[in-house]
Amino acid sequence: MLSIIIIVFSFILDGILSNFIAFDTFNLSLFTPSLTLVSLVTISILFYHQNNKYLLICFITGIVYDLFYTNLLFFNGLLFLLIGALTLLIEKYLEIDFIKILFLVAISIIIYESSSALIILIYNLVPVTLNRVIYKISHSLLLNIIYGFLLYLIIYLIPKKFKRININ
């Protein structure tokens, strides 16, 4: 239940911030949000031994994200599923703590933006250059890393009886 609340809050906050922050091709704010993606990466620690449930939530969240924000059905569904699978793979080999969650969020943003640009380039939807991709990644890391840290802190501070696992 906590994971759904975090995703819905992040989803709504993503929409609100997208309306108030400049989002032009060469005029991005340093606070470009990808909060729904960050929330998916952060809540993965709540799905201990429930990988299929977590991946299903990633895919469904991506589909809903597509319906509300991008109008490209299955585009973000598949990308969020990819990020979810990579998150589970990394968590399999690393114990997640405050520093590693920041690293995981940064890697997820980089992979998401790069994959997104690659798919857009392959299907020639809009012109994409390497400079634009690097610019977008660099302008979205700050806010998203801060948000990932805050979400991890909130999850960490919730009493153990509301969590399935003990987070270090």
Residue 168 falls inside a structural domain:
no
Show the tokens assigned to 5. 């609340």
Query: 25: burial class by Cβ within 10 Å (0-12, 13-18, 19+)?
Result: exposed
Where residue 24 sits, what CATH number does that domain have? 1.10.1760
Residue 67 falls inside a structural domain:
yes
Residue 158 has pLDDT above 70, yes or no: yes
Residue 43 falls inside a structural domain:
yes
> Number of folded domains in the chain?
1
Residue 84 falls inside a structural domain:
yes
Residue 151 falls inside a structural domain:
yes
Residue 167 falls inside a structural domain:
no
Q: What percent of the chain has pLDDT over 70?
A: 88
- Domain holding 58, by residue range, is 2-162
Predicted pLDDT of residue 77: 92
pTM listed for this prediction: 0.85
Show the tokens assigned to 140. 């979205």
- Give tens-digit pLDDT for 33-60: 789 999 999 998 888 788 999 999 999 9
